[in-house]
Amino acid sequence: MWPPSASMEHYYTEKPKSELRVKTAILKLKNGRVYQFQTPSGVFSFGAIDKATRILIEHCEVYGRKVLDLGCGYGVIGIVLKGEYPDLEVCMSDINERAVEFAKINARKNNVDVTIKLGAFFEPWKDEKFDLVLMNPPLAAGKNVVLRLIRESCEHLNNGGSLQLVAYHNKGGSYIKRAMKEIFGNVEDLYKEGGIRIYKSLKVGSCSN
């Protein structure tokens, strides 16, 4: 998703060099709808949809029209949202070239029309604003990366728009919550399950630096 701080290859590496392996993952929603994804090695959550992403999809608060799945990986969040809410304008981006390639493959596979771009942070969306930004943030990339993601999300939201992040509260989530409170001036636990929480902030006025 985001530039690694070391030479080791991570899922946020820009150009993965590892051997490509592909596994199919199935996501069945509580409403019975089924989505299928081709998951490549070198991209987050290879071979299966991770629990936090499932929770964000099932329990995020969807409103407005223009949505960004930031750090989209192979496309689960944005693709499912477009499938469930066809009237949404869904945008997706990731720094990992392999992730973007497979997000596009999975969008076609699931017959959804979304906009997918390559790039870190908000570089692909410099002049755009959104009503909703969703993210399963790359905590492994470090606090400075996560802080920048939260700050730039606030800057790229329309007034009244929402940032919603999912994380394990005791594995970096508490830091995320504090940062969202500091930058947005508000934060709430939208949903809790098994140590995983969805944090929600609303854009009301200006963002704190």
Q: What is the mean pLDDT of the chain?
A: 92
| Secondary element (H or E) of residue 157 | strand 157-168
% of the chain beyond a pLDDT of 70: 92
pLDDT of amino acid 208:
86
pLDDT tens digits, 183-202: 999 999 999 999 999 999 99
| Alpha helices per DSSP H over 6-90 | 51-59, 76-84
pLDDT > 70? residue 41: yes
By C-alpha distance, which of 12, 59, 30 is closest to 199? 59
pLDDT of amino acid 141:
85
pLDDT tens digits, 84-125: 999 999 999 999 999 999 999 999 999 999 999 999 999 999
pLDDT of amino acid 15:
67
d(CA 178, CA 180): 5
Q: What letter represents residue 107's amino acid?
A: A
d(CA 37, CA 14): 21
pLDDT of amino acid 19:
84
CA dist 79 → 58, 74, 170, 186 (Å): 13, 9, 29, 28
Range list of β-strands (E), 48-122: 66-70, 89-94, 115-118
pLDDT tens digits, 132-152: 999 999 888 889 999 999 999
**Quick one: pLDDT band at residue 68, thresholds 50, 70, 90?**
very high
Q: What is the pTM of this model?
A: 0.92
pLDDT of amino acid 6:
36
